[in-house]
Every structure is written in C-alpha cells, then in structure tokens.
Amino acid sequence: MDRGYMVRGVTRSSFSKFLMWILPWTALLALGLYAAWLCFSRGLNQTHMDNRFAFGLWIFLDLTVIALGAGAFFTGFLVYILKKEELKAVINSAVVLGFVCYSGAVAVLMVDVGQPLRAWFTFWHPNVHSMLTEVTFCISCYLAVLFIEYLPIILKNRKLRQVPSFLVFEFELHKLMVVLAGVGTILSFFHQGSLGGLYGVLRGRPFAFREGLAIWPSTFFLFILSALAAGPCFILLTTWLVSKISRKRLVRPEVFSELGQISGILLIVYTLLKTVDTLVWINGTSPARGFPAYQYYQWKPFGTWILFAEIVLFGLLPAVILLSRRLRAHRGWLLTAAVLVCGGVALNRFVLTIQTLALPTLPFDRFLSYLPSWQETAAFLAIVAYGVLVYSFSFRYLNLFPQERELARP
Amino acid sequence: MREKISRRDLLRLAGGSALGLWFTPIPWKLLDDVSIWTQNGRWVTSPPRGEIQFRYSNCTLCPAGCGVRARCVGGQPISLAGIAPQSGSRGALCAVGLGGHHLRYHPQRVTQPLRRASGISASFQPCTPEDIVLTVSEALATTRASGSGDLAAILDERPGRVTSLMYRNFLSGFPNGVYLNPVSDSGATLHAMESAAEKPYGALGIDLENTRTILSFGTPLLDGWGNPARLWKMSEGLQDSSESHLKIIQAETHQSRTALLADEWLPLRPGTEAALALGLAGILIKEKLIDMAALSRQAIDLEQGAQGSFRELTEKFSPRTTAAITGVSEDKIVSLARELVQRGPSIVLGGGDPGAGPLGPEEETAIAALNFVLGNVGRRGGFLPRRELPKWLKEPSKNLKPASSLRDIPDHSIRVLFVDALPSGNAIPWTLLEKKLVRDNPVVVSFSPYLLGISRNAQFIVPSPVYLESWEEVLTPLDSPTTSYSLSLPLLVPPGGVQEPFDFIRRVAVAAGVHLAPEFQDVSPKDLFKRRVEQFHRDRRGTIFSYRNESETRVKDVASADSMWAMFCDGASWRDDPPSSTSPIASRFSLLGKAANAAERLEAVGHGRLEIQRDPATEFPLVLMPEGWRGAVGQNGLSPVMTKIYQESGLRHLGGEARVNVETGRRWGLTDGGPALIQTRCGSKVARVHFDDAVMPEVIQVIVGPNLKEFHESQEVDGRNILCLCNLDDDGVWRVTRAKMSGV
Amino acid sequence: MTTPTQKKSRYGMVIDLDRCNGCGACMMACAVENNVPPAHREATDRTGITWLRVYRFNNGLKFPNNRSVFVPVPCQQCGRETPCVSVCPQQAVDVDPATGVVGQMPERCLGCRYCMAACPYHARYFNWWDAVWPPGMEKTLNPDVSTRMRGVVEKCNFCHGRLHAARERAAAAGRDTLQPGEYVPACVEACPARAIVFGDLNDETSEVARLARRPEAFRMLEQLGTEPKIYYLTRQSWVRKVSEDEVQMARKDQTHG
C-alpha cells in the first residue's frame, strides 16, 4: 500500500510485516516517554542517581552513542573532503545514524538535567572554561548540521521529489555538503574531545584526572581517536545488521573491508596512545595527587582486568584483526572485531562515567554501587527504540544505500 | 503603487516577522521570565517577611533549661540560639533545642483530646475534655471506695515545679493517691548520697570547676547530661597532657560519645559497675589511701552497721575478683584507685544514659559509697549541698503527697495514671508502667502535645502546649551547686483545643470533689510563678541575669518585685549566691545504704546484674543493652529537620536499630545494614543492624530513639518500642537483658 | 548598596576533631539557618541535603582498640582551581574575590550535576524532591535566605545571609570592615564544644590563622592542590593521616564487598 513512497528499484517487506516490526519498538518508546514524563513531573527522584552517583546510566548512554555516532561526521569527512568515493555507499546511512545518536543523546540529556527549562542558560551565561559549555555548543550546532544533512535524503523521497521546489532546495543543499562536512568535522572534533575532557579535567577525581596539552587533558584526544575508530565500525555493524534483517545486499563487500581498515588504523594509534596515557597516569598523575593507582583496582568488581580488557581485549585485539587483510576479508572476524571496537568504546565510557563515581575519594568514603531504576532503563531503551524507528522508516522510504539498487539487479 | 495585497504577501510578512522576532529581545526576555517564573511559582515556598526582633526564653525540652534567644520575624521564632555568656559558648544549644521552634508544627502534633477506640492496638478518635473528665473521675471514685487497693497516680518527670506541687496537693485528696518521681534519674549518684545521709544534706550539686578527675560509670557527661555548657567548658583540656585539666575516665560497656572524647575508656562487662566501685573502694580502704580516721568517724557501717560491714563486703571484691568480673585488668584497677586519690579531687558518677534507665539501687549505693570513701561530700571539687528555692507557699505537708518511686509500687495496683507532658529527656518503657496498672480497664491519661511515646499506649490524650507555647518553670540543673530559676515564656499562642495540664487536673479535681488548697484555686500557673518571683525579691538573695542586655543585677538592687517580674518576662535567670563556705558536712552516712538486706543484695549484684548471671549462656548468649540520647528517646516530638541527623546522614541511629561488634554480627549470620531478629524472654523484634567495633563482642546495643515514621506526616507510629524487649528487674532496672539474634 | 569590605578576606575554618562528639548541633543549626527542608520520606544519606555533614570514621581496629572520629564536612571552599567552579557550564558557581567563599546560585543552576561529580568532598547536594515543610512550618523560615526548588544543586556558603547581615550592621555603624567575630556561620555558633573556629585566614593575628599554622592542623586531600580553606586539628596521628596515603589502605578493611 505504501509502494509509491519507496525507492524505485528496491523491494521492501509488506506493510503489515513492517507494522509488526515497528509495533514493539513503538511500545518501548511509549514506555520510555512515560518514564520521562514521570521524571519531568515528579523530579529526578524517579531515578536511582544520588548525590554521590550524580551521573548514571544516561550520561553513560550519551557518551557512548555520541562516540558511535561519530561515524556520521567521519564518513562525511572521508567522502567529501578526502574524496573516498567508495564510502558514498554508506554516507546516507551514516548521516541517519548520526542524527539518531545525537538527537537521542540530546533528548535524554533534557530528562537528565534537573531544570530543563533553564537549558538555554548555557547559551545565555556561558562559562567558557567549562568542557560542558563546549559540548553543549558543539552538539547543538552539530545536531543542526546533521539535520541539514539529513534533509536532502528525506527530500529525495519518491513522493516528496514531486514537489518541484523541494527538488530545487535539495539540489541547493547538496552543493553545501562539502561545507557541511567540513563544519561537522570541526564541531565533532571539538565535542568528541570535550566529552573526554569532561572527565579529564576533574582534578577532584584523581581516577579520571589527566594532564594534557594546553587546556586539553589527554582524554580529549583519546576520545576523538576512539570515536573515530568506533564510528566506522558502528556503520559496518549496522549495515550488516540491516542487511541481515532485511535480507538484502546493501553494499559491496569492499565497503566493509574499507571501513574495517580505516577503523583498524585509528584503533592501533588509539591503543598505543591510551597505553602511554595509562602509564603516565599510573606513574605520575595519580600518585602525585595522593592516590596510588593500584588502589582503584582493589574494589570489586573493578579489578585490573578492566584495564586489560580496555587496552588489550577491546583495543589491541580488534586492531590486529582489522589491520590484517586476511582476517578482515573473513566476514566472521571482521564482525567480531567491529563488535569488540564498539564494545570497547562503551567500556571506556563506562569506566570514565561509572567507575569514577563509584570510587571513594575521602578516607571515610565507601565504594559505592548504583543500579538504574526502571525509569532510567526505560528512557534508555526508548532512545534505542527511537533510533530503530527513525532508521526503519528511513530505510523503508529513503535511499540509504545507493548501491542497493545495482546489487538487487539480477 | 496600487498593488493588491495577496495571501502570499501576508504569509511572507508572517514568515519574515517570525524570523525577525528572534533578532529582537522579545523571545529572550520571555525565556528569562520563564526562568524567573519557575523560581517563584506557587510551588516554591517563600520565607515570611517582617520586622526582625529578638525574644528570649528558656528551653524546657530537657531539665538542663538552657537560656534561649529567639530570632523572630513578626513575632514568630525563626531560629533559636543559646545565651552566649550564660552558656559560655557563643550561643550554643543542642540539636534538639535548635529545632524547638519547629515543634509546634510537628506532624504528630495533637490539638484536640483523643480517646483510644478500643484495645491496645486500635487507633484514636477525637473526644471532648468532658468525656475524659467524666471517665477519669468515675475511675478515681472507685479508688476511693473502701477496701479498694487501687491507686490513683501522677507520674511527674519534672518534679519541683509549681505544677508538681499542685499535683501533690490534688493527690492528697485521695487516700490511695501516689505521686511518682521520674522513672529514671540522671542524678542517681547524687540522690543516692543524699538519701544515705543520717541527717539530710539537702540537694547536692557538683563543684565541677574544682574537680580534677571524674570516674564516670556510663554517665553521658559530654553527650547531654546536667548542664551541657558547663560540662563542655570544664572539659576543654580533655586529652591534654597538662596536669591541671579535668580528666574524664569513662567506664562503660560500649564506646559512647563521651568515652570517645574522654581521656580514658574502660570497657566494662555488661552490668558489672557495682563490682568495680566496690573493688576500688576496697583498695582505697585496704591500702589506707584515704583519711581512714575521717571515714571511720563519719561512716555508720564501715566496720559494722545495721546492714553489715562495708569493709567486709569490699574485701570480697579483691582486685583479682573484680578484674575477673569486670574484664578490667587487675593492674588497671589498682592504678585507677591510686589515681583517684593522687589526681584528686576526684568524683565518681554513675548512670544517666537516657535510654538505659537506672543503673540500679545497688550500683547507685556502691558508687555513692565510693564517693563517701573518697571524702567527696562537702569538699572543694566534690559534692556541695545547694540551698532550696525561696519558699513562697505555706506548704502544709499534709496537703502535699510525698513523692514515691515507681520501684516501691506493687504490681497491678494503679487504676488511674496521669503522665505529665514535660519530658525529663529520659525513656520510659511502657512495660514498666503497664506492669503497675490494674489488669481490668486501667485509665491512663497522657498530657502530651504529640501522639508519641507513652501517649500511644494511653487511653486518653489531653493535648498540652509545646515548648514556647506556655509558661513553664525551669529549675536548677542537677549538677549545679548553686540554685537557679528561670521561666520558659510563651512566644507563640497555642492552637485552640490545647489544655494546660494544670488546668485539666483542676477540672478533674472539681469533678472528683477534691478541694485543692486555696493557693491553687482561681489562678493560672503564671500567677503562681509571679508569686515565686516576688518571693525572690523579698528574700533579696542571689543575682538575676537578663538575657537581652546580657547584664547581671543583684536582686538587692532590683527596685521592685514588679520590675523583677518584668525582667523574668523578657528572659532572665535567677541564680543563688554561691555557698559561703565549703567546710565538710558533719552528717554521718551509711555506706551500704538504708535498704533492707543491703549488704546481701550489693554482694549479689556485685557479681554482675542478676539478669546477666541468671540465664544459662546457651539459650540467650548475648546481652541486649539499650542506649539513648537526652531528649531524643522517642518520648516526645523532634523537629522534622532532625531528619538531617537521622535519615540523611546516619550520624545518629534511629530508635530500634541495633549496633553489634563486627565479629559477633558475622557469627550470627547478619549483614551490616541488614535486618535481624532480636529475641529475649520478653518478646522479639526485627531491627536493622549496624556493624560497629566500638561495641563489645556478644553485646547488642539497641537505640532508644525516634522512629523514622514520626517525622513524616500521617504515619502510624508503634507505641511499643525496643524497650519492650528489655527484662524488667524487680527494682525497675532494664539496662541488661539476655538475648539472642538471628538473620531474617 | 556599597560593599563595606574593602580589604580582601579569605574566610576559613579550623575544626578541632578531638572536641567533636558528633552531637549534630552544627548540622541542625545549618539546616535551620539556610532553610534546608526536612528530609523527604524516601530520602537517604545519599539523597538528602546536608550542607554540613558529620561523618563518622574509625581506625578499623577491633574492640576495644577501635577508635572513631567525627568529621564535620562543609564545603571546603577550595581556593585554587576550585574544581566545581570551572566545570559549571553556566556560571552558577563562583568564588567571591572579596571573601574567598565559593558561592552557588541555585537560580542559575540547570541541575546538570557536573559540579557534584567534580567535588572530591561530596559537599554538594541536589534537590531530588520539591522542598516541602510540614503545614505551618514555612512560617519558621529564615527571611535572609531564599528557598531552593527541585532540580538544582546547593551547598554550604559560610552562611551568606549572615555575611550580608553583618555587613549591613557594619555599614550602619559607619564601618567599612567587619570586626573579627562579627560574622560567624550558624554551625560555628551552635557548636557546644566550640570545636569550630571561624575567621579570616588572611589576618595573621586571627585565631583561625594561628590554629591553621599549628603542626596538628591538616586539610583533607591536600595533595589535590585545591587549597581548601577548612583545616582540621587533631592530636591523634591516625586521624591526621586522613590526608595521606596510608589511610587509603586502612579503609579497605572497613569496606567489604
């Protein structure tokens, strides 16, 4: 029944099947919206955060999705600035993913703050020394950029194209893409870095605090690198997942390999720098502030295994896989590595957000634990559901994978 | 230029305006207003405005009676502070007192008479004062009936007030009337010495300013005892190496807050205070460390008295025996005895924990005896008798019922019991009162501003005014060697329906046909206080300290009784002249006390409280020991802001919670912060357990304190608190109970 | 209105831990002075609001060698690279150059709680619930301090209302500087043990400056380099190690898990 809205030359499942697919996600989204409403109307006591665990699941989610969403700007950068034409196959999908990740993050942030009505104060009375100010400015600007990048993809929809002015508008927008990609890259560099800086500047939390270059702590650069490495892998994973679920061939195999290789190169650099950073921190930064680093790992369950996992299991290992042409060519290895990379970036964000707050600073402090409430979990899942829904609609009605039509031809 | 304005133009205008609007201040101003609006909406409470002034009063939340400066807005107190020169500490008050002005708004406040619906666990329903007067006077009539052994009693936790005299006068109208002294006595040591004198000394106070050493058997000297400001001032050099400072040696089972700050803490096995006191006295006598001639001269029963020989008794508590009983090493006991002499003047105090109740008559006697042996009565740095308040009433003793102790009342004999509202700061176990009530339909009337503590178990609640709502007297703190007097003033008007206990008893008297003395007829307590103050002026004794200008005036120099009254009404305290001499008092005393079988009982309890000795350790291997904090033992309301201390920081544990040694807790399968079932012969209760190595192994320290629910509105509060698990000895002691514990 | 304080002050406290018995009077006085509402029914020690919180800390030894100390922890008023100031995205936190007091403007606060994550002393508190007083009790609020709403962060500001009142009194008396003792936070006034001494650390002759120089004085987490203005005094060496490494080892024994 909605055939007329779909991209010419590709097939999609029946409308009823599509309805069955989106129904549970919509339900999840509704539940999350209810949880968010509870938080708005009754306050953040609906969460299990507290004065000591001032940040919880949501901040972890924000940091992770924004890292994963880095694929959007990075692919844009590769395609439009470095002219890596073969990645055009995934650029549309990457933009949608980026938009989903960033808008989701901003939405959950609005629930997370105690006074969302005052969110604009940051623009009105900005504290230029705060990493969070930088993050707020860059993310909101970049979200606008993503929206503008998303717009032409929407306007290319078969039905919308029939409006002539839309077509003109879309054409004009398209010419802007190079500029947008450039702006997006700069903005993204800053906010990805600032998100890392967010924790790196916490001099009161020696577990997170890092020395750095000029005004930026080392986590600033590590976050950029890890996001750059994770972005392509996330695109790779989602593309594979969508192709599995829709049972369609969406891109040529070389694209996967290309994404993997780019990620691998960045990951090995990241792993190297992360190792250096960790060593400097263990032997210098942390003890100098009165906290020998071994202490951090004496609290169960956060033993030294977490360091090993972060650097070797989720860093070195996938980097080696991705850099090896032979392993990369093997779909199983490639996907495993991609999962490890995305998992690694999530683990890194988890360590910085959750472990930092769990560790005691005062001598009479205790090691704290925190378990999110159902409202927090529901809001978290709603963001996932939101992402799935936006992507599903985009996939069904928009041209996310230009190669799909060619590959579908017999 | 005659173009027609098209729809498109209008749309353009609208679009342009919408875009242009963002470049004007309008949206930004609107946003700003939104933020201001969110801060000032109806849902954000705003403080009251008005003229700020200071008013003065005295605290009645415990018998210490600190002077209070109330900062008021439009007459409404908004914060309380102490009187700097009086307390010697810039205006300190205790946490309970600092929230005194909130009590009027307590969530458990009662403002109309209540009657219990039926049964012990049922709820309360409103009634009229007439209902209560009728029921009570009928019940009182039955106690008067010939042959009835039933008693009519008033429990007065703050004796010595004008209202107390009226109670005694009222009770004298009943052949079976009993006027009851407080259930636990913070000044038990002093009173034990007073009662051991052959000729009465009068009330004793402590010459703390000249004392160098205090051996305290669990007296919470630094956590709410006597006059706290004075004790804090004296303890300034604590743990100092200097020789002159006041040294505190705290002997008690757990490490209390006083023990923590004391120079030394001696962990005593539960219930073994008598042994240590007797052991120390024994060393002093055996080693002749004291003036033996003076002791032999003054003590009736050092060698042989009607009750036996104190020396013989102490010989049974050699250092070795004492060490075995108390758990304190033999060397320590001997060196402590010597230190008491070498670092004199040293005094010994015992008991006074607001939750643990009395130490016991035997322990009190043993501690009093140790003080006598040290020659402490009437000496500098020891105990000095203080003068009585000026007499203002021709107190014909036949018209005033003498005071009795609840210990001496037979079980199941009280038919009508009135419980006065003014708190002593100490806990009252309901089981203790229940045991004394007749089995069939006793009538318990509680004068209380709150539905808390004893009130929860009463049949009737007469709503009484809270602190700062009524005139009340503040008498001498128990430790003071000089008599003092001040008034608590009504800074607030009580809500309608509230009844002064004074007025209510007068109504009952009329209904029951009791003729009160003329002094108590047609007067208010305030009139009587004024008469008392006029008497001060007539006696020309002492000085009066005015809070507002922080100045002291000799009573002699006050122009008239009226101007003296005016000073009291603006916040003032009267203090007697210091005693002229501190010469030893001639009266002889009994070391073994006056009770029958004193030596035998003392010897028996000397081996530890009988409850400790009684049970085979296998059934109830642990010992339950209650502890409390003055004014916060669940008997009365606390400011809801006290939740900062209890709920939001855990600085103090809530009533019913338990502390156990880490090893003990683990051995009994408990988890820190988790629930445990505590069982004794008297019952069982589930309590939250905190692991704490300041608690002796095998001991369960239970907190007698506020229930979390009582801070929050419309919550049912259980009237039977943790004290219901405590074993009640025949002598009214509940501080040690054999118990066991298991995880839930 | 002119500010009478011309000279730059650096207000601070010295808290004698050997005199603190954890009675709670300071916490109570603080809440009363600053219109901090009573706890919500569901509040815990991790969601409550206690601008000044007294912690109990022990040496980890077994009975009878176990010793505890009570540590009152208000905002430590960090004087250098104040961790909470630089992180706030909208300048709701500032350091008053005239007094050195770290101020919090709840009206400006967005409730992002970044400052709470930044504070190593956990001296910042979030309003998880609406501030509610039992009926009638709002009449007992202090007119010098505005109440806060749900969703914002608040903390100790050395009783800012009292500073203003003291300055007004001084100005009325024609003085442009405050005399020692004229301005004292509520907790200092309320402490029955006189364990807290407050004053200007810049004034070499003040009692607070003299005590802060004593060898028994230390600051918590001094090595972080944030120059807190709360000093603690103790003659018990195990307590003094609070700011040193060893304690970090000792505390592991107390915590299980």
pLDDT, residue C117, reads 95
* CATH number, domain containing residue A173: 1.20.1630.10
Q: What share of chain C is helix, strand, coil (3-state, %, to 5)?
A: 25, 15, 55
Task: Work out the pLDDT band at C245, boundaries 50, 70, 90.
Answer: low
Q: Which residues of chain A does B28 touch, with a Cβ-Cβ cutoff of 8 Å? A: 124
Residues of C in contact with A112 (CB under 8 A): 112
**Contact between C19 and B644 using a beta-carbon 8 Å cutoff:** no
Dist CA B458 CA B417 (whole Å): 9
Using a CB–CB cutoff of 8 Å, tell me whether C254 touches chain B.
no
What confidence tier does C6 reach under pLDDT thresholds 50, 70, 90? low
C137·B105 Cβ contact <8 A = yes
Assess if CATH 3.40.50.300 describes domain B197-385. Answer: no
Check if the beta carbon of residue B598 is closer than 8 Å to that of residue B307: yes
Question: How does residue B121 score in pLDDT terms, banded at 50, 70 and 90?
Answer: low
User: pLDDT tens for residues C51-88?
Assistant: 999 999 888 899 999 999 999 999 999 999 999 999 99
Neighbours of chain C (3+ CB pairs under 8 A): A, B
- Record: fold of B613-743: Barwin-like endoglucanases (2.40.40)
Q: How far is CA B178 from CA B170, B171, B194, in A?
A: 10, 7, 22
Backbone angles phi, psi at B377, to 5 degrees: -80, 130
Examine residue A248 and state whether it is found in any structural domain, yes or no: yes
The residue of chain B nearest to residue A118, with distances taken between CA atoms, is B35
| DSSP per-residue letters across C22-51 | ---HHHHHHHHHTTPPPPPTT--TTTS--S
User: Which helix or strand (DSSP H or E) is residue C76 part of?
Assistant: none
Query: Is the Cβ pair B31, A120 closer than 8 Å?
Result: yes
Neighbours of B744 (CB within 10 A): 11
Pick from C50, C60, C134: CB nearest B648: C50
B622 vs C249, higher pLDDT: B622
Q: What is the pLDDT of residue B105?
A: 94
Q: Which of residues 4-33 of C touch B (CB under 8 A)?
A: 18-19, 21-25, 27-33
d(Cα B562, Cα B534) in Å, to the nearest integer?
A: 8
Nearest to A114 among C44, C119, C126 (CB): C126
B28 Cβ under 8 Å from any chain A Cβ: yes
Per residue in B696-743, pLDDT (tens digit) is 999 999 999 998 888 987 656 666 788 999 999 888 899 999 999 998
Rounded average pLDDT over B45-59: 90
Distance CA C38, CA B558 (A): 45
Which residue's structure tokens are 């202090």? C142
Is the full-model pTM beyond 0.80?
yes
pLDDT digits (tens, 9 = 90+) for B256-274: 999 999 999 999 999 999 9
Distance CA B690, CA A363 (A): 20
Q: What is the pLDDT of residue A159?
A: 83
Condensed to tens digits (0 to 9), the pLDDT of residues A304-351 reads: 899 999 999 999 999 999 999 899 888 999 999 999 999 999 999 999
* DSSP β-bridge partners for residue B73: B52, B76
Interface with B, mutate which of A117, A122, A165 (most B CBs under 10 A) = A117
Residues 124-153 (C) with a CB less than 8 A from some CB of B? 130-143, 145-147, 149
DSSP β-ladder status, B622-628 and B177-180: unpaired
Integer angstrom CA distances of residue B137 from A120, B120, B418, B507: 71, 22, 12, 10
Contacts of B35 in chain A (CB under 8 A): 117-118, 121
Give this complex's ipTM: 0.93
- The whole-number pLDDT of residue B587 equals 81
State whether A203 and C56 contact (CB < 8 Å): no
- pLDDT digits over B555-614, tens only? 999 999 999 999 999 999 999 987 766 555 678 899 998 888 888 999 999 999 988 887
Closest-CA residue of C relative to A122 is C90
Please check whether residue A5 lies inside any domain of the structure: no
Distance (Å, whole) CA A37 – CA A310: 36
CB pairs under 8 A between A and C: 182
Tokens, residue B101? 């002005």
Contact C134 B99 (CB under 8 A): no
Q: Measure Cα distances from B587 to B178, B285, B293, B387 in Å.
A: 30, 20, 15, 16
Range of the domain at A163: 27-399
Nearest to B98 among C29, C61, C137 (CB): C29
Chain A residues with CB under 8 Å of B38 CB are 115, 117-118
CA distance C218 to C233: 7
Domain boundaries, chain B: 7-40, 114-184+389-575, 197-385, 613-743
Tell whether omega for the bond before B465 is within 30 degrees of 0, i.e. cis. no
The verdict on a CB contact (< 8 Å) between A363 and C121 is: no
pLDDT of residue C253: 44
Q: Are A334 and A260 in contact (CB under 8 A)?
A: yes
The domain defined by B114-184+389-575 carries CATH number 3.40.50.2300: no
Judge: C28–B104 Cβ closer than 8 Å, yes or no. no
Q: How far apart are CA B723 and CA B429, in angstroms?
A: 6
Residues of C in contact with A139 (CB under 8 A): none
CA dihedral A339, A342, A348, A349 (to 10 degrees): -140
**Which residues are CB-contacts of A49 (< 8 A; sequence separation ≥ 6)?**
A55, A56, A370, A376, C113
Across all residues in chain B, what is the average pLDDT?
89
pLDDT per position as a tens digit, C16-36: 999 999 999 999 999 999 999
Taking only the tens place, the pLDDT of each residue in B354-393 is 999 999 999 999 999 999 999 998 888 999 988 888 887 7
Q: Helices marked H in C141-235 — which ranges?
A: 160-172, 186-190, 207-212
Mean pLDDT of all residues belonging to chain C: 89
pLDDT per position as a tens digit, B59-77: 999 999 899 999 999 899 9
Contact between chains at B694 and C142 (C-beta distance less than 8 A):
no
Coil/strand/helix, residue A185:
helix
Strand-strand pairing, B177-180 and B403-404: parallel
**Contacts C245 to A, Cβ<8 Å:** 290, 292
Which residues does chain A have with pLDDT short of 50? none
Q: How far apart are CA C51 and CA C125, in angstroms?
A: 7
Q: How many CB atoms lie within 10 A of CB B509?
A: 21
**Residues B138-148 pLDDT 10s:** 999 988 887 77
Nearest CA in chain B to C40: B712
Tens-digit pLDDT profile for residues C148-188: 989 999 999 999 999 999 999 999 999 988 888 899 999 99
Listed residue (B218, B178, B270, B133) closest to B613, CA to CA: B270
Which residues of chain C lie closer than 8 angstroms to B255, CB-CB?
Answer: 64, 66-68
Residue C64 preceded by cis peptide, ω within 30: yes
* Structural domain includes residue A17: no
Report CB contact under 8 Å: A117, B28.
Answer: no
Q: Closest CB to A55: pick one of C40, C113, C127.
A: C113
Local confidence band at C44 (pLDDT 50, 70, 90 cut-offs): very high
CATH tag for C11-80+158-254 (out of 3.30.70.20, 1.10.760.10, 3.30.420.40, 2.140.10.30): 3.30.70.20
Average pLDDT over residues B465-489: 93
Is residue A19 one of the residues assigned to a domain?
no
